[in-house]
């Protein structure tokens, strides 16, 4: 019985983590699709960010598949940002860096992508200096 309780607790924690990572992946996928060109390079950036946030290698494809469905069926980014908003500053920075890497994966940021980042920095309660510093870091590594 005790083992059963621990097993259910672990299962609930894994489910919550999966849901959290799915929401984050949906946000990243949304940013990749905003220019109507979701590339393999962008998919790799998303996988790398999810791994940095604790995703298991074996569950990456399932998380991304679930996130693609979630993003496709949604008409707003608020439900994706809700999960990121509750993360630590370091985890938020991982998400922001992944977003900038996705945006600059084609070496340019268009008007829609720049607007998305302005909106997200406010929704995630991040100051413009932090977001700008991450942007410059990403641009200098291109």
Confidence grade of residue 16 (pLDDT, cut at 50, 70, 90)? confident
- Look at residue 79 in the predicted model and tell me its pLDDT: 85
Q: How far is the C-alpha of 130 from the C-alpha of 21, rounded, in Å? A: 22
**Residue range(s) defining the domain that contains residue 96:** 2-140
- Look at residue 15 in the predicted model and tell me its pLDDT: 66
User: Residue 118's domain is classified under what CATH number?
Assistant: 1.10.3680.10
- Look at residue 1 in the predicted model and tell me its pLDDT: 52
Q: Which residues, 6 or more positions from 130, have their beta carbon under 8 angstroms from its beta carbon? A: 93, 96, 121
Confidence grade of residue 80 (pLDDT, cut at 50, 70, 90)? confident
Q: How far is the C-alpha of 7 from the C-alpha of 14, rounded, in Å? A: 10
* Helix residue ranges, H only, the chain: 2-33, 40-52, 60-73, 78-85, 89-103, 111-123, 128-140
Model confidence pLDDT, tens digit, residues 106-117: 888 889 999 999
Q: What percent of the chain has pLDDT over 70?
A: 89
Domain count, the chain: 1
Model confidence pLDDT, tens digit, residues 40-74: 999 999 999 999 999 999 999 999 999 999 999 98
CA–CA distance from 24 to each of 15, 62, 87 (Å)? 14, 13, 10
């Amino acid at each position: 019985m005790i083992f059963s309780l621990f097993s259910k607790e672990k299962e609930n924690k894994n489910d919550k983590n999966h849901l959290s990572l799915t929401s984050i992946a949906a946000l990243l996928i949304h940013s990749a699709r905003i220019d109507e060109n979701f590339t393999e390079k962008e998919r790799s950036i998303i996988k790398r960010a999810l791994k940095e946030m604790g995703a298991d290698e074996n569950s990456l494809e399932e998380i991304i598949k679930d996130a693609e469905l979630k993003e496709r069926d949604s008409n707003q980014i608020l439900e994706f940002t809700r999960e990121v908003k509750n993360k630590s500053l370091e985890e938020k920075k991982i998400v922001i860096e992944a977003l900038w890497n996705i945006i600059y994966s084609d070496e340019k940021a268009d008007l829609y992508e720049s607007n998305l980042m302005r909106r997200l920095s406010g929704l995630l309660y991040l100051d413009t200096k932090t977001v700008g510093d991450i942007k410059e870091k990403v641009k200098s590594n291109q």
